[in-house]
Structure 1
């Protein structure tokens, strides 16, 4: 399970070797490297991704601008429930 990273900016500036949190993120990173592609899927809650996806994004933010995944394919998928009530229907 990924732990909430909080404000450990050192993970981004110095890399994961200097990150104070030790969890399963290295296992997930190895699996992403071994895969032909990765699918990221999340529901949308209150106009944002789920807490689990946000934790995942925060965990791997140190590699987003490094070339180690530039050759990988990715699919990003999100879903949202949209009803007439949420669209400002006059029947509220």
Structure 2
């Protein structure tokens, strides 16, 4: 097994979450179980896939619950989803620092 590069922690977590359209971000996913997985309620940089498309983003703390993953318009176009309620498959593969 190859070691992760410096500043990278390997993750292997999968979520399915509906697109949401309110709160601090115009379009986002709420990742249940993220606090337990990441061990923090702070912002965390991650890399992985959304519906098979690679992405890098910062998971933002919601304050009282799981992290939010903001969805940029370009990523919504790439996965062909942007409407509230549409389900998105998320795989977190790396925690970046």
TM-score range, shorter chain: under 0.3
Higher gyration radius (CA)? 1
Given the two structures, how large is their TM-score scaled by the length of structure 2?
A: 0.21
Give the structure, 1 or 2, with the largest relative contact order (CA under 8 Å, sep 6 or more). Answer: 2
